[in-house]
Amino acid sequence: MTSERPDFGPRPHRDSVAAALAELDGLVIETEPAKVKKRSRDFHWFSPVLKARLDEVTADAVVAPADEAEVRRVLAACFNHDVPVTVRGGGTGNYGQAMPLRGGIVLDTGYLNALVDVRQGWVRAQAGCMMGVLDARLRERGQSLRFHPSTVDTATIGGFVAGGSGGVGSITWGSLRDTGAVRALRVVTVEETPRTLELRGSHARLAMHGFGTAGVITEVELPTAPLTRWLERVVGFRQFARAVAFADALAHEDAILKRLVSVVAAPAAARYLFPHGIDESTHAVLVMVAETADEALDELVAAHGGSAVAAAGSPLYEYAWNHTTLHALKHDRAWTYLQVGYPQPGTVERVVRMAEAFGPDEVIPHIEFLRMRGVTAASGLPLVRFTSEARLAEIIAAHETAGCPVFNPHVFTLEEMGRKHVDKRLVAFKQEVDPKNLLNPGKMLSFERPELVQDQPTAFGFRSQ
């Protein structure tokens, strides 16, 4: 790895952008450079590596269509004039998912925010609908989202499906990659006359977690969860291994309905999350369980020797998942993070071993428990003190050597990230919906470099841990 800014490929000619915009009379368009740049960014700066690489990235214009007809007009204009178009939701990604490497137009879905339909067990909304708004509307009908990122209040449902994977609630409902996580997506193609496709069931995977490279998602249909009253608890432990063992045991309790089981090790728990509740030697387990499980949780906490921590913030999920990293970064910009899998069996031992391999001065464990194909899995978002790219690479290598695969959050292409399986079927779909490769160009390397295409097709389009 080097810190040099890579060549992202050609930007469109200024005249092409102007010609495309000229076809979009009546649409909401922003061209003021400072404002365009602000809306060309996300939380890529969580990574000092991406910050160095992507900091200058900006679009030429931001267009915010009011409805799907306007989306088609934008895509037709971009097709006609060969202008790249990068779809943006809430801009809460962490790897530059919505950053327009080759400039062109950022398509902001913010006005596509209608709730299309709600039924018992499912909801359909336009892609730009904020997840927090969607959840509130569902709540009125006794339902809720199954899971959401910690950025639920600012992230859009389309952005989550296009660039996210799981989050708060995944301990019960698994991740977006699971069968049944998404009922359908409505997608617009980038052609002379853009078409609208309804991708139902497993077909939706073609457009999921592709950073908007394979069609523009305009509507999302999701199964919902029943509305539940959640308890929020923070449980403190003196020993890290006991905190992990408690969290693992809780994650295995089938009768306790759970929404969040996170471990944040000392000293980060006190220093960055709950400075008034605990001291710096305490390891914290952040727990959200159904109110009906209060007594069961108390028994389990007592059995593991944990103690309740006061003065936790609410909502508790805003201290977990990627928000943990955010809180640390607010205090100290030297931190960054990794995304680590700790496979079964031996999850607890692996977590503890990796914590011991580095000290808390360099790596502070942060573990999120979730369901993966029917069993409990642990996924790490450890805080890592950044010194150099070379040292970061060593830390990644040490995890991989120990059997803990890393989904590298310091890269911005689908292939380097390793979560999305770019196979022939997906490349063929991309060819069909975006033949000129105008959608978020530079993120799907395989489309431009056929030697990278995976031979092995998967029904799921996701690599599992």
Partner 1 sequence: MPELHGLLDDLHDLDVETQPQKVKRRSRDFYWYSPILRRQLDDVTADAVVTPRNEAEVVRVVRSAVARDVPLTVRGGGTGNYGQAMPLKGGVVLDLSALAAVKAIDFGRVRVEAGAKIIDVDHACQADSRQELRFHPSTRATGTIGGYVAGGSSGIGSVTWGLLRDRGNILGARVVTAEAEPRILELRGDAIQKVNHAYGTNGVITELEMPLAPAYPWRDAVVAFDDFMVACRFADDLARQDGLLKKLVCVLPSPIAGRWVMPDLADERQSLVLVMIADHVAELFRAFVATHGGQCLRDALPSELPHQALPLYEYSWNHTTLHCLKHTRDITYLQTLFPPPTHLAKVEEMYRHFGEEVHLHLEFVRFGGEIACFGLQVVEYTSEPRLHAIMDYHNANGCPIFNPHDYTLEGGGMKKVDTLQLAFKREADPKGLLNPGKMIGWDDPDYDDSSDRRFLYDQ
CB of 359 to partner 1, least distance (A): 31
* 81-89, 198-206, 418-426, 442-450 -> range binding partner 1 (CB under 8 A): 198-206
CA distance 47 to 251: 30
d(CA 130, CA 113): 7
Closest CA to 2 of 49, 45, 44: 49
Q: Which member of 2, 281, 292, 388 binds partner 1 (CB under 8 A)?
A: 292
- Contact assessment for residue 278 and residue 214, using Cβ atoms and an 8 Å cutoff: no
Task: Closer to partner 1 by CB, 80 or 179: give it.
Answer: 179
Out of 45, 111, 122, 462, the residue judged to bind partner 1 by CB under 8 A: 122
Site membership for partner 1, residue 287 (CB under 8 A): no
Is 76 one of the binding residues for partner 1 (CB under 8 A)? no
Look-up: residue for tokens 């617009």?
188
Write the burial class of residue 441 (CB in 10 Å: 0-12 exposed, 13-18 middle, 19+ buried): buried
Among 162, 261, 300, 320, binds partner 1 (CB under 8 A): 300
Cross-strand partners of 61: 105
Judged by CB under 8 A, the residue of 174, 194, 236, 441 near partner 1 is 174
Which residues does 321 contact at the CB level (< 8 Å), separation at least 6? 149, 150, 167, 168, 262, 368, 381
The interface mask with partner 1, positions 139-168, x = CB under 8 A, is ---x---x----------------------
Chain center to CA of 249: 26
The correct pick among 13, 330, 373, 449 for binding partner 1 (CB under 8 A) is 373
Instruction: Count the Cβ atoms, other than its own, within 10 Å of residue 366.
Output: 28
> Could you tell me which stretch among 16-24, 70-78, 197-205, 438-446 binds partner 1 (CB under 8 A)?
197-205
Rounded to the nearest whole angstrom, what is the least distance from the CB of residue 456 to partner 1 in the complex? 16
Distance, in Å, from the CA atom of 326 to the CA atom of 305, rounded to the nearest integer, reads 29
Residue (94 or 347) nearer to partner 1, CB? 347
Shortest distance (Å) from residue 312 CB to partner 1: 22
The least distance separating partner 1 from the CB of residue 175, rounded to whole angstroms, comes to: 8
**Residue 391 within binding range of partner 1, rule CB under 8 A:** no
Shortest gap between Cβ of 162 and partner 1 (angstroms)? 18
Packing angle between helix 14-22 and helix 68-81, nearest 10 degrees?
150
Smaller CB separation from partner 1, 181 or 312: 181
In whole angstroms, give the CA distance from residue 45 to residue 40: 13
137 forms part of the interface with partner 1 (CB under 8 A): no
Among 70, 108, 178, 368, binds partner 1 (CB under 8 A): 178
| 3-state helix, strand and coil shares in percent for the chain, rounded to the nearest 5 | 35, 25, 45
Please give the Cα distance from 281 to 446 (Å, whole number). Answer: 47
Burial class (CB in 10 A: 0-12, 13-18, 19+), 196: middle
How many of the chain's residues bind partner 1 (CB under 8 A)?
46
Residues 220-239 that bind partner 1 (CB under 8 A): 223-224, 226, 228-229
Taking CB under 8 A as the rule, does residue 374 contact partner 1?
yes
Cβ-based nearer residue to partner 1, 399 or 419: 419
Rounded CA-CA distance 464/368 in Å is 16
Contacting positions for partner 1 (CB under 8 A) = 119-122, 142, 146, 172-174, 178-181, 183, 200-202, 223-224, 226, 228-229, 251-257, 290-293, 295-296, 298-300, 345, 371-376, 459
